[in-house]
Amino acid sequence: MQSGTRIPKPSGGGRAPAGAEGRQAGRDRTNEWNNGRKMEQPALADAEGGALKARQTRAQSRLQKPSLPEAVLRGSRKRKDVGDGCPGPQAKRQPSAQKSAPPPPAEETFEELHERTGKSELDILSEKLKFNKGASAPKKMELMKNCIKDLRTVGHSLLERKDKFEAEASYQAAHVEELRAVWEGEEAMRDKRIEGLEEELQGAKASLSDTKDCLSRVQDELRDLHQTSGQQISSLDEALRTSKHELAFCEKSLSERTAKVEELEESSRTAQNYSTSLQNYNQGLQRQLSEQKEACQALVDENRGLKEQVMLLSGSTTQLEQKVEAVKSVAETKVQLLQGDSSQAKSELARLSKELHSVTLARDQWQRDCEKWKAQADMYQEKTGKSLEEMQNMETRRMALEGMCSDQDEIMERLRRETAIAVEQKRLAEELASRRGDENVELKRKVESLEALVVEKETQMKEGEEIRKRLHNTIMELKGNIRVFCRVRPVGDGECGTAPKTATPLVEYPSQGDQKDRAIKVLAPSGSSGTSSDFQPFEFAFDRVFPAQSTQEDVFDEISQLVQSALDGYKVCIFAYGQTGSGKTYTMLGNSENNGVIPRVMQQVFQTSNELREQGWNFRMRASILEVYNEEYKDLLGKHLAANEKHKVHHDAHGNTTVSGLTTVDVSKPENAAELLRRAMEKRAVGATKMNDNSSRSHMVFTLKLDGSNEGTQQHVQGVLNLIDLAGSERVKASGSQGDRLKEAQNINKSLSALGDVIMALGTKNEHVPYRNSKLTWLLQNSLSGASKVLMFVNISPAQESANESLCSLRFAAKVNACEIGVARRTVKTDQKDSQPTRSPRSR
Ligand SMILES: Nc1ncnc2c1ncn2[C@@H]1O[C@H](COP(=O)(O)OP(=O)(O)OP(=O)(O)O)[C@@H](O)[C@H]1O
């Protein structure tokens, strides 16, 4: 130490109790206090309320007391004025001072000595006494006395300084103790708060899982209800359809039958008419028949009479013959008797012969008549027989027609009955349909109310999820962790996503309890070299794991909080790390159908900044895009620099980074950003590799600076978003790269390894963080330090041939995940001297 140098005033800072974040926070807080300003709290502090502030105010007031060393100095100065006898803060040091030669009173001080002689302490202590030749003893004595006096003055001065240092050291120790007590108190409060938050988180998780359970129950019920109602509806629809069908069929058959009935009625009418006419005809015929019969009967009777007459005549002939015989006998007798009377008798005989002749004639006549009548009867019989047949035919026809009529009557009756049944069925079906319609309406109402319930539950779930995310965010902020999300891309064409021999999926997602959406299991070749053909499982846990089927929206949903943070004045850095071809560019940029993180971030930044306009906030946004290619910065929005020019990165004391000669563009709408990205992608270095036809050969850094100001509250915030698509790591040997590709790959691997070293150094709180080891880390210095919120995507491929690389990436990511890099800070300024505590643009 130089003689006469003043002891520096204690800074008020001290060793923080634990960790770099503690040191950082302690340093920051102390700086703020020493400047007499209130320290800005992180976003969470708004939520934590006054407790922490009160503690800080107490600590601040303790720390703002006049510093002890000054008092000590004042005391020591006073002691000098009044001499050694005066008690001061160092009184307890006096015995030791007295033990080593007490300085004589009214001695010259060292300052006076220095003024007089111009010598330093060292000069005096190392000075050798030189006596002039022939100097007398008293002269020498005098010289020695003076020298001893000077030495005493120096000794006195050194002792005094030693006392001062000791006093200051003890003060510093006390101060450190005090700070440590304050810090421990704060840490205890913080731990308590973290516990509280974790409890809240547990509560939120429990309520979330309750809500999820409830939702899944409701969904199950809804599904069942949907199913049963669907079944009922479909069976009803089916029944209705069949009823309608039947009804239509019935109606059709009814109309057919009605037509048939009408037709039948018509034919029946015709038949009846015909039947009537037949009956009439029949009656006529019957009349004729009966007349004929009567005539026939009369003829028969006549015939019988004639026959009887013939019989009678033949009887009378017999009688006559008998009479003749008798007469003959009588005549003979008489002849005999009357032979005498022969003449008389002869005459009698002649008369009788005459009489017989006439009777014979009459009989012949009668016989002829009989014959005639018989012929007539036969003729009549013949005639009558013909009519009968006709009649019988007609009777048969009539009978058949009557049968048909009765059949048709029966059919008609049956049809009438069927029609009545069909009408009844139609009425029942209509009744059923209207009842089912009512039921349908009721079911629809139920379904709608259940759907509303589902929407409500989903909203609750979303809110719960939002709370969970915010709490998780807060805990992460308090812990100062760098967050790591893992994303697995789908298995590509010609790739195999299963382990050899077993056909077990290479990547699995354990989904139980807390591990759900956070854990990943990969099967990778066992053995240190990773070349074994046996695959064994390795399990990792991250802040979030996105399986292959996750959408870009799912991914963005998880990071939208960080966009808000950038608008609140934080520096946010999101980067994608992983093997070449694992999906980094897809995640960060996406494609025309599926926008990735950067376009979505832009969309949200503009949307939120527009919403904040209502609260008086106005944001200016400036974007720049550069790439780090072969350890050189290249502007992707401007012209390439001349060969002798290079972009230079500069970091100022406020944590702002600028790149010389870099094109920065004001953006006022998402389309501007999209256009910039398109331009940048055209210029970016890409090339085909074994793993990816369109492989990014450079690290691309998209930077959006957000300057927000609120005229109403006179506040200004400065946020920065660094969105980085890193080039992919690749095993040079395995990829067989040569020439330019080899050089690119070597530079990529070197810078990625430097990135890993920086994060590890930050995590282990190393004094030295090797930012300068690569252009990438040097550029991102302010974004990677504890003052920023950092999120890393580790992208992995599920292909069998990438298993080893995937395992390396996951191991690296797990190490990063375990790092605590410090607590992020907002950049906020306020114009007002008596300003209220600064609120983030989000707080209302
Ligand atoms: N989640 C995903 N869903 C669908 N396709 C994907 C997904 N991730 C990646 N891909 C496809 O896989 C291929 C390689 O992806 P990408 O180019 O993003 O890989 P990378 O990690 O950026 O590679 P490199 O480091 O070589 O640039 C692309 O065709 C991309 O469309």
- List, as one string, the DSSP characters of 185-215: HHHHHHHHHHHHHHHHHHHHHHHHHHHHHHH
Instruction: State residue 303's pLDDT score.
Output: 67
The domain 202-459 having CATH identifier 1.10.260: the answer here is: no
Q: Please tell me the distance from the alpha carbon of residue 65 to that of residue 630, in angstroms, as a whole number.
A: 55
Mean pLDDT of 134-163: 85
Mean of per-residue pLDDT scores for the chain: 76
What is the rounded distance in angstroms from the CA atom of residue 433 to the CA atom of residue 446?
19
Query: Is 583 assigned to a binding site?
Result: yes
| pLDDT at residue 62, as a whole number | 43
- Residue 546 pLDDT level (bands cut at 50, 70, 90): very high
pLDDT value, residue 547: 94
What pLDDT is recorded for position 582? 93
Q: Which atom of ligand 1 is nearest to the CA of 686?
A: 27
What pLDDT score does 465 carry? 67
d(CA 276, CA 282) in angstroms, rounded, equals 9
Q: Which is the closest atom of ligand 1 to the Cα of 696?
A: 27
580 is in an annotated binding site: yes
Q: Strands 686-687 and 695-696: what pairing?
A: antiparallel
pLDDT of residue 339: 59
13 close to ligand 1 (CB < 6 Angstrom): no
**Residue 788 labelled as part of a binding site:** no
Measured by CA distance, the residue closest to atom 8 of ligand 1 is 583
3-state SS record for 7-59? CCCCCCCCCCCCHHHHHHHHHHHHHHHHCCCCCCCCHHHHHHCHHHHHHHHHH
> Does 403 belong to an annotated binding site?
no
Q: Which atom of ligand 1 is nearest to the CA of 576?
A: 21
In the prediction, which pLDDT does 643 show?
78
- What per-residue confidence (pLDDT) applies to 524? 87
Predicted local confidence at residue 275, as pLDDT? 64
166-175, 344-353, 548-557, 600-609, range with the lowest pLDDT: 344-353
Structure token digits, residue 399: 């009978």
Alpha carbon of 740 to ligand 1 centroid (Å): 22
Q: What whole-number distance in Å separates Cα of residue 573 and Cα of residue 816?
A: 14
For residue 212, the model assigns a pLDDT of 76
**Does any ligand 1 atom lie closer than 6 A to the CB of residue 729?**
no
Give the residue extent of every domain in the chain. Answer: 49-192, 202-459, 480-830
Burial tier of 570 (Cβ tally within 10 Å: 0-12, 13-18, 19+): buried
Q: Is 480 annotated as a binding residue?
A: no
**Residue 658 known to bind ligand:** no
More confident residue, 22 or 466: 466
Indicate whether 687 pLDDT > 90: no
| Nearest atom of ligand 1 to the alpha carbon of 582 | 21
Pocket test for ligand 1, best of 486, 489, 686 (most atoms within 8 A of CB): 489
Lowest-pLDDT range of 129-133, 170-174, 248-252: 248-252
**DSSP string spanning 320-344?**
HHHHHHHHHHHHHHHHHHHSTTHHH
User: Measured on CA atoms in the order 26, 32, 33, 35, is the torsion positive or negative?
Assistant: positive
Q: In ligand 1, which atom is closest to the CA atom of 487?
A: 1
CA 577–ligand 1 middle distance (angstroms): 12
Atom of ligand 1 nearest to the CA of 591: 31
More confident residue, 811 or 297: 811
Q: What span, in angstroms and rounded, lies between the C-alpha atoms of 577 and 482? A: 14
Instruction: Label residue 625 by pLDDT band (50, 70, 90).
Output: very high
Pairing label, strands 632-635, 715-725: unpaired
Q: Which pair of tokens denotes residue 496?
A: 């195999």
- Residue 722's DSSP bridge partners are 573, 703
Choice from 551, 588, 692 to test ligand 1 binding pocket (greatest atom count within 8 A of CB): 692
Residue 826 gets which letter from DSSP?
B
pLDDT confidence of residue 43:
35
- Nearest atom (ligand 1) to Cα of 586: 18
**Average pLDDT over every residue of 604-631:** 91
- CA of residue 584 to ligand 1 center, whole Å: 6
Nearest-CA residue for atom 10 of ligand 1: 583
Report, in this order, helix, strand and coil percent for the chain, each rounded to 5: 65, 15, 25
Q: Would you state the pLDDT for residue 602?
A: 92
Q: Is the CB of residue 751 less than 8 Å from the CB of residue 743?
A: no
Neighbouring C-beta atoms of residue 514, cutoff 10 Å: 10
Q: Is the pLDDT of residue 274 over 60?
A: yes
Residue 537 · residue 522 · CB < 8 Å: yes
Q: Is the pLDDT of residue 65 over 50?
A: no
In this predicted structure, what is the pLDDT of residue 337? Answer: 63
Segment 242-265 shows an average pLDDT of: 71
| Residue scoring higher pLDDT (432 or 60) | 432
Indicate if ligand 1 lies below 6 Å from the C-beta of 596: no
Q: Is the CB of 542 under 6 A from ligand 1?
A: no
Task: Give distance in angstroms: CA of 795 to centre of ligand 1.
Answer: 9
Residue 689 assigned to a binding site = no
Percent of the chain with pLDDT over 70: 71
Q: pLDDT tens digits for 817-830?
A: 888 776 666 667 66
Q: Give Cα separations from 29 to 39, 183, 185 (angstroms).
A: 6, 11, 15
Of the candidate ranges 11-25, 456-470, 633-647, 777-791, the one whose mean pLDDT is the lowest: 11-25
Closest atom of ligand 1 to CA, residue 689: 26
Mapped to the 3 state alphabet, what secondary structure does 497-545 carry?
A: CECCCCCCECEECCCCHHHCCCEEEEEEECCCCCCCCCEEEEEEECCEE
The residue with greater pLDDT, 2 or 650, is: 650
**586 CB within 6 A, ligand 1:** yes
Domains 202-459 and 480-830 fall in the same CATH topology: no
- Residues 6 or more apart whose CB falls under 8 angstroms from that of 571 comprise 655, 719, 720, 722, 782, 783, 787, 788, 789, 824, 827
- Ligand 1 within 6 A of CB of 490: yes
pLDDT at position 387 is: 57
- 127 closest CA partner among 159, 151, 145, 157: 151
- Ligand 1 pocket, mutate which of 555, 584, 586 (most atoms under 8 A from CB): 586
797 lines ligand 1 (CB under 6 A): no
Instruction: Kindly give the number of the ligand 1 atom that is closest to the alpha carbon of 578.
Output: 21
- Return the ligand 1 atom nearest residue 492 CA: 12
Which ligand 1 atom minimizes the distance to the CA of 693? Answer: 26
pLDDT reported for residue 513 = 66
Cβ(809) to ligand 1 under 6 A? no
Q: Does the beta carbon of 695 lie inside 6 Å of ligand 1?
A: yes
Reported as a single tens digit per residue, the pLDDT across 210-226 is: 777 777 777 777 777 77
Is 584 flagged in the annotation as binding? yes
Give the residue whose CA is nearest to atom 14 of ligand 1.
581
Whether residue 202 is predicted with pLDDT greater than 90 in this model: the reply is no
Query: 840 with 45: CB under 8 angstroms?
Result: no
Superfamily of domain 480-830: Kinesin motor domain (3.40.850.10)
CA of 572 from ligand 1 middle (Å) equals 24
Q: Could you tell me which residue, 625 or 217, shows the higher pLDDT?
A: 625
| pLDDT-wise least confident of 112-126, 336-350, 562-576 | 336-350
590 CA from centroid of ligand 1 (Å): 9
CA 588–ligand 1 middle distance (angstroms): 10
- CA 495 / ligand 1 centre spacing (Å): 14
Residue 794 CA to ligand 1 center (angstroms) comes to 13
Tell me if residue 836 falls in helix, strand or coil.
Answer: coil
Give mean pLDDT, residues 67-84: 40
pLDDT-derived band of residue 836, with 50, 70 and 90 as boundaries?
very low
Report pLDDT for 841: 58
Give the pLDDT confidence of 437-466 residue by residue, as tens digits: 888 888 888 888 888 888 888 888 778 767
Mean pLDDT, to the nearest integer, of 302-313? 69
To test the pocket of ligand 1, the residue of 546, 577, 585 to mutate (highest count of ligand atoms within 8 Å of its CB) is: 585
What average pLDDT does this structure show over 678-689?
83
Q: Which two tokens stand for residue 66?
A: 């006049």
Higher pLDDT among residues 256 and 111, named by residue: 111
Instruction: State in Å: Cα 693 to ligand 1 middle.
Output: 10
Q: Does the pLDDT at position 22 exceed 60?
A: no
pLDDT band at 341 (very low <50, low <70, confident <90, very high): low
Residue with tokens 């001349």: 642
The CA distance from 117 to 131, in Å, is: 18
- Kindly give the distance from the C-alpha atom of residue 581 to the centroid of ligand 1, in angstroms, as a whole number: 5
Look at residue 78 and tell me whether its pLDDT is greater than 60. Answer: no
Is the pLDDT at 835 greater than 60, yes or no? no
Give residue 743 CA to ligand 1 midpoint distance, Å: 22
Alpha helix positions (H), 713-802: 732-735, 739-763, 775-779, 781-784
802 in contact with ligand 1, CB cutoff 6 A: no
CA of 733 to the centre of ligand 1 (A): 22
Give the model confidence (pLDDT) of 478-490 as tens digits. Answer: 656 688 999 999 9
**589 CA: nearest ligand 1 atom:** 18
Distance 504 CA to ligand 1 centre (A): 23
Count other C-beta atoms under 10 Å from residue 476's C-beta: 18
What's the CA gap between 671 and 283, in Å, rounded?
A: 107
């799912």: which residue's tokens?
A: 554
pLDDT band at 809 (very low <50, low <70, confident <90, very high): very high
Tens of pLDDT along 565-617?
888 888 899 999 999 889 999 999 999 899 999 999 999 999 989 988 888 88
Look up the ipTM and state it. Answer: 0.98
The listed range with the strongest mean pLDDT (78-87, 399-408, 527-536, 823-832) is 399-408
CA 776/CA 446 separation, integer angstroms: 60
726 lines ligand 1 (CB under 6 A): no
Distance 585 CA to ligand 1 centre (A): 6
Residues 6+ positions from 710 with CB-CB distance below 8 Å: 615, 616, 617, 618, 716, 841
Residue 584, ligand 1, Cβ within 6 A: yes
What is the phi/psi pair of residue 694, to 5°?
A: -125, 60
**pLDDT of 261 strictly over 50:** yes
Q: Which atom of ligand 1 is nearest to the CA of 692?
A: 26
Structure tokens that stand for 626 in this block: 């550069």
In this predicted structure, what is the pLDDT of residue 512? 67
